[in-house]
Amino acid sequence: MRAHTCRGVIFLYQRGIVKEVRLGKLKEEKVYSSFSNCNGNVYQATLLAGLHVQGCPHCPIRSGTLPLEECGQSQRAPGFHFHQTFIITFIKPPVSFGFPVPGLKTFEVDGALRWFSSYVGLLSGICLIVGTMIGSGIFISPKAVLLFSGAVGPCLLIWAFCGVLATLGALCYAELGTMITKSGGEYSYLMEAFGPIVAYLYSWTTIMVLKPSSFAIITLSFAEYASSPFYPGCTPPLVVTKCLSAAAIILIVSVNCLSVKLASYVQNIFTLAKLLIILVIIVAGIVMLAKGNTENLSNAFVGTSSSFGAIGLAFYNGLWAYDGWNQLNFITEELKKPSRNLPLAILIGIPLVSVCYVLVNVAYFTVMTASELLLSPAVALTFGDRVLYPVSWIVPLFVVFSTFGSANGSCFTAGRLAYVSGREGHMVKILSYISLKRYSPAPALMFNGFLALIYIIPADINTLINYFSFAQWVFYGLTALGLIVMRFTRKELHRPVKVPIVIPGLIVLVSFYLVLAPIIDKPEMEYLYCAVFIFSGLLLYYPFVYRKVNWACKLMRPITMHLQLLMEVVPPDKTE
């Protein structure tokens, strides 16, 4: 007996008992039938493409053969002949089937099933880097960098050094991303270099705090600029800002859940918009310099801060504006030709952003003194009012586009980290599930959006930036250290890109400085709280990840099942 969907029938075997399942009209990406086996366990059959039997005239000769017992059925079952993909999702599997709950098996002759198609090419990769980096930072951080550096000269130097540092860090990530071609960014690299515990602590901290807080920060900035034209001369009400931020989070998560392609198109469009406003500001600044407005750039180093910790905080805020240089590494599995496009996108995107940032800050100082810039509620708006009037309204409009695009990029990559972490068993499995219709990591995206909604409640952007940067640079340093370690422990790995070892060494030293400088200069309990939170993940790792206690599995089983049915999602293939 053979399986043959040409007749709309699939025969399943369990313990030698033949179960016939009649399916409806064949059509891709549809759930055709629910059925029960002899034990009353409910299944769901889903056809993603054609399934034919051995000897079927519709099957090309190149097709391979996979035995049915590979999906947990009886060894007496006949061979299935596949030339495309067939999936059976077990909503409530019996104990005799060797599947996790709920389980999935996929078959494909030409390799393992890739849920995430390679939609991201070189241009989209550059747009993701540029679009994620140029967000709210260049419109928020200039005040903080100037405040902590103490003068215009060191402020501009810090912006330039931050660009160099981001480029060097990204070169390290180019080697890592072409050597370990998995999505997940630092998580995958720390897993290879140091093992599951360090990788788990990274995923725990990043998924629960860093990614959603970053998402919240960017959408709060979006809300401030979007609402400011309606409240001229005063600060928009906090409730308005928070509601707009929440609406942006919900909209962005919805777009990313609906389609990977749509999210990529949105990113490309908004990246072009933000480059346009950056270009407008730079050109306006050049015009002001040509007119002789250079007095704010004279005596540029008077008042420079000598505080060890203050300079560290200035770098924190500058690097916050550059954050995003590593985002392409989170989606390596979706990148076309990663060994070529990943380093190219990095080498084009990050220097472009660095030059833009320095020139934008120079433009700011052509029309504002240091004191005026520090007192400005929105630096870009003040610049627009003084230089671009009566068309100064284009500045808040395009800043809104810029922050929205950056938030979209942040959401896009955050979902992939949660997906990979859930796939490896370091987060609840439902986070690794994929939408059956949209092929997007919908549960992971929704979870990130939910946490971001919680993080907008405090609405203190500067505090969030400081603690975000502190924790982030701990893991940047560990990742660079992991690259050095793997030079000696994983010599067999192919490295299409190989940077001088002094570069990751420099990143480790800079990370060490950025983590310790603010703590030594001005110790605060909040840094201790941050460290305690990172290591508190170990309290969950041992029972739930390492030991996998039975009561937790039993508790999550019905929750996972109902969420799977509600969101129409399935687990990724194990061989992925």
Give the pLDDT confidence of 336-369 residue by residue, as tens digits: 888 888 889 998 999 999 999 999 999 999 998 8
Reduced to 3 states (helix: H, G, I; strand: E, B; else coil), residue 531 is helix
Split at pLDDT 50, 70, 90, the class of 484 is very high
Instruction: Fill in the DSSP letter of residue 100.
Output: -
Alpha helices (H) along 228-324 = 238-258, 260-290, 308-322
Assigned token pair, 102: 């709920």
- Convert the pLDDT of each residue in 546-560 to its tens digit: 888 888 888 888 888
Say if CB 78 and CB 56 are below 8 A apart.
Answer: no
Q: Which residue's entry shows tokens 């050094």?
A: 161
Q: Is the dihedral of CA 244, 278, 353, 368 positive or negative?
A: negative
Residue 392: per-residue pLDDT: 80
Candidate ranges 202-211, 392-401, 462-471; pick with highest mean pLDDT: 202-211
Smallest CA-to-CA distance from 210 within 470, 391, 13 is with 470
Residue 573: per-residue pLDDT: 57
Split at pLDDT 50, 70, 90, the class of 328 is confident
Q: Give Cα 65 to chain centroid, integer Å.
A: 37
The mean per-residue pLDDT over the stretch 291-307 comes to: 83
Alpha helices (H) along 332-393 = 338-367, 370-375, 379-387
Distance in angstroms between the alpha carbons of the first and the last residue of the chain: 30
Q: Which residue's entry shows tokens 């709920």?
A: 102
Reduced to 3 states (helix: H, G, I; strand: E, B; else coil), residue 98 is coil
- Convert the pLDDT of each residue in 229-261 to its tens digit: 788 777 788 899 999 999 999 999 999 998 888
C-alpha pair distances (Å), 454 with each of 39, 212, 321, 467: 44, 9, 23, 16
- Is the pLDDT at 78 greater than 50, yes or no? no
Cα–Cα dist 516/519, whole Å:
5
Q: Across the strands, what pairs with 104?
A: 89
Candidate ranges 16-20, 55-59, 143-147, 564-568; pick with highest mean pLDDT: 143-147
Kind and range of the H or E run holding 413: helix 394-423
- Is the pLDDT at 299 greater than 90, yes or no? no
Assigned token pair, 425: 């068993």
Least confident of 2-11, 94-103, 238-247: 94-103
- Convert the pLDDT of each residue in 100-141 to its tens digit: 323 333 323 223 333 444 567 888 888 888 888 887 678 766
Whether the full predicted model's pTM is greater than 0.75, yes or no, is: no
Assigned token pair, 148: 């902590």
Residue 43: per-residue pLDDT: 35
DSSP string computed for 167-197: HHHHHHHHHHHHHS--SSTHHHHHHHHH-HH
Residue 449: per-residue pLDDT: 95
Instruction: Fill in the DSSP letter of residue 14.
Output: E
Average pLDDT, the chain: 75
- Is the pLDDT at 199 greater than 90, yes or no? yes
Smallest CA-to-CA distance from 542 within 208, 201, 209, 207 is with 201
- Is the pLDDT at 532 greater than 80, yes or no? yes
Q: CA angle 481-486-492, nearest 5°?
A: 165
Assigned token pair, 130: 């540029």
List the domains of the chain with CATH numbers. Answer: 5-113 (no CATH), 122-569 (1.20.1740.10)
Residue 548: per-residue pLDDT: 82
Split at pLDDT 50, 70, 90, the class of 277 is confident
pLDDT higher at 281 or 300? 281
Cα–Cα dist 367/289, whole Å:
9
Say if CB 104 and CB 71 are below 8 A apart.
Answer: no
Cα–Cα dist 381/42, whole Å:
59
Residue 54: per-residue pLDDT: 33
Q: Which residue's entry shows tokens 């077990």?
A: 90
Whether the ω angle into residue 100 lies within 30 degrees of 0, i.e. cis, is no
Instruction: Provide φ and ψ at 52, rounded to 5°.
Output: -135, 165
Residue 461: per-residue pLDDT: 58
Cα–Cα dist 158/300, whole Å:
13
Taking only Cα atoms into account, the Rg of the chain, rounded to an integer number of angstroms, comes to 26
- Is the pLDDT at 458 greater than 80, yes or no? no
The mean per-residue pLDDT over the stretch 455-482 comes to: 77
Give the alpha-carbon dihedral of 242, 244, 440, 478, to 10 degrees.
-40
